[in-house]
Chains A and B, each alone.
Chain A
């Protein structure tokens, strides 16, 4: 089977046709449910800091950061079909740029750190831009490589990046890392005080302030990605995934689009890196290892390749799981606190999402987004087993994709 046609099987069906079909077909019938749900979710998210304790707010901020990163990787891997394991590297570029630009010069122990001490907003912007630049620099290599070669080449980027982080001590703090300056916006710091703030009797400390920052950025990322996918470039990217030849025949400049999607994706990663630095409060080279890249891959696979909302769901699942496990280690069976010999929280989470990746690819290549679409369809017309109109059949091909693969089987059926 040639690689050019291969990706048309599973991943394809998840993204564009499903969404386009759903939107155009169901608009008359589904009236208010969706906007109401979205509004309710927003209200809950907006009010959360007034009711929820700090742990959940901090977890939430980490999740917002992960959502931004996952959406970025999803544009690259899910929508455009470029397998990238380099996401951790771009996260690192963003995070390090932020701490370098906004951090103060000074020495910690033996290490002499340099920093520009500029306002954090500039640090964030520079972080995003530099990550984008790194992506742009890598993209000529990426554009030449096909599919799986890119996957392994980008693997290299992670290791090279880690080496640089460990070596370039004056900027990165070397092996021990360096602390990230608090974010501030036009004099308003996202820290515990300065100014002290009480809203409706609730103290607004660092966690509460960061929550809103994360929420706004994650929302913006989400909306941007959705609009991008529905626009002309978005269609071009999806065509690129399905067939580069077809794309170039239709007038899509393959190299340029690959470069651009790398740029956008790594800018997302850069922003996510900045948020990560803010959420942890420091950056160290070991936070940007291969494992991180794999986590992001897990997020988008779980959520559903090509689906923006899916990426957000996947990010929620993968990034919150270890934290939640850690917190409830005592209450959960099988999971134990660190140092007790059992399965610790991080391991339990890894087992879970490792297994989830395997199961999802095997049984529901559409991921959580695909599952959701399936339920939604079933709920809408329970009687109809087979879709009739051409639009719906494009929609339904999500769950047909598992059955459409074995249609090649007869030739190979004798073999098993």
Chain B
């Protein structure tokens, strides 16, 4: 029972982080029709810059700077490349982001090499016990921060003028533009927000129980793709649910590894994809995604 609860708790915290990444993924898709395969390397960029900067400027300034760098990178990508391709086929846009991802990832991995960069979290190594259940303090803080960010995001999405503009342009870009909504600005902002969310997620993903920033962080980030997909690419709520589902599935699969040994060691790493494919089999547009209707 203790193990179950602890896995549950860890799964939720991991899921909250996945949800952050997936949220960014989803709002980019809503705002600019782009399925951003750059997200993994953006996240790695955030983690890398935080790790490198915290040597020289200290931890908290490094977090702020790293987040800014990631957001700026996302903004640049949107302005320089994506914005110029508005109206291009979805597949071309996805392929462009793969191209950007190759460049960014190659450079980051070249810089990181085979090292594991340490991020000096002030809360490193400590853990929290609730009743009989333990969780690393890093993950506990991550859950809190993620929850706050997600709430702020949803409130802003619903009530702020940006949120309204964003939803309007996702609903019908042309009409929104005629109403005076600047689609370019909406999409740029979406990318910036996605960058920030990715950087924050990166900050916690490379903390305990993960050893630090290494090339493997990229694969972790990739597991947020299934989260976004299985929730439904155009549903922010779906990203949240998807993130939690994936986090829980991964946590349980890793925790009960011995019971499912016939599936092989390290099955926890692929369980997100298994869950995703299973869900897509039943609901091809994800759990909460809008079904695509075709008018002839």
Contact = CB atoms under 8 A, between A and B. Distances in A.
Contact of A149 (B86, B89, B269, B286): B286
Which of B226, B233, B263, B270 has the most chain A CB atoms inside 10 A of its CB?
Answer: B270
B286 A357 contact: no
- Chain A at the B interface: mostly helix, strand, loop or mixed? helix
B87 A1 contact: yes
Contacts of A343: 110
A355 B229 contact: no
Contacts of B263: 167
B186 to A, nearest CB: 8
A376 interface: no
Interface string A69-81: 0000000010001
B154 to A, nearest CB: 24
B277 A362 contact: no
Interface string B98-112: 111111001100100
Interface string A1-39: 111101111110000000000000000000000000000
Contacts of B276: 152-153, 156
Contact of B292 (A146, A159, A356, A362): A146
Interface stretch (A102-110, A219-227, A408-416): A408-416
Which of A153, A245, A249, A415 has the most chain B CB atoms inside 10 A of its CB?
Answer: A415
Interface in B247-296: 263-267, 269-270, 272-274, 276-277, 280-281, 284-286, 292, 294-296
A362 B100 contact: no
Nearest to A11: B89
B90 A3 contact: yes
A173 interface: no
B3 interface: no
Interface residues of B, number: 62
A3 B264 contact: no
Contacts of B292: 2-4, 146
Contacts, number: 182
Contact of B265 (A9, A77, A167, A244): A167
A261 to B, nearest CB: 15
A164 B106 contact: no
Contacts of B84: 362
Given A6-B90, A156-B273, A358-B100, A145 B264 contact: no
A144 B280 contact: yes
A77 B91 CA distance: 9
A354 B106 contact: yes
A9 B270 CA distance: 36
Contacts of B118: none
Given A163-B266, A347-B110, A408-B87, A152 B98 contact: no
Contacts of B265: 167
A370 interface: no
B35 interface: yes
Given A152-B225, A152-B229, A159-B270, A146 B284 contact: yes
Nearest to B229: A152
Interface in B89-131: 89-92, 94-96, 98-103, 106-107, 110
Interface residues of A, number: 62
A148 B88 contact: no
A350 interface: yes
A10 B95 CA distance: 13
B89 A151 contact: no
A365 B93 CA distance: 11
B102 A152 contact: no
Nearest to A7: B89
A298 B106 CA distance: 15
A141 interface: yes
B281 A144 contact: yes
B264 A164 contact: yes
B266 A166 contact: yes
Given A11-B89, A156-B276, A357 B102 contact: yes
A409 B294 CA distance: 24
Interface in A381-416: 405, 408, 411-412, 414-416
Interface in B165-198: 173-174, 177-178, 180-185
A412 B173 contact: yes
B83 interface: yes
Interface string B7-48: 000000000000000000000000001010000000000000
14 contacts: A11-B92, A77-B91, A144-B280, A148-B94, A149-B229, A151-B35, A153-B229, A163-B269, A166-B266, A361-B85, A361-B88, A405-B88, A412-B184, A414-B180
Give the 4 A-B residue pairs with the shortest CB-CB distance, closest first: A167-B264, A357-B99, A156-B273, A354-B102
Interface of A: 1-4, 6-11, 77, 81, 83, 141, 144-149, 151-153, 155-157, 159-160, 162-164, 166-168, 244-245, 249, 290, 294, 297-298, 301, 343, 347, 350-351, 353-358, 361-362, 365, 405, 408, 411-412, 414-416
Given A353-B102, A414-B177, 8 more contacts: A7-B91, A10-B88, A10-B92, A151-B35, A151-B91, A159-B269, A298-B99, A354-B99
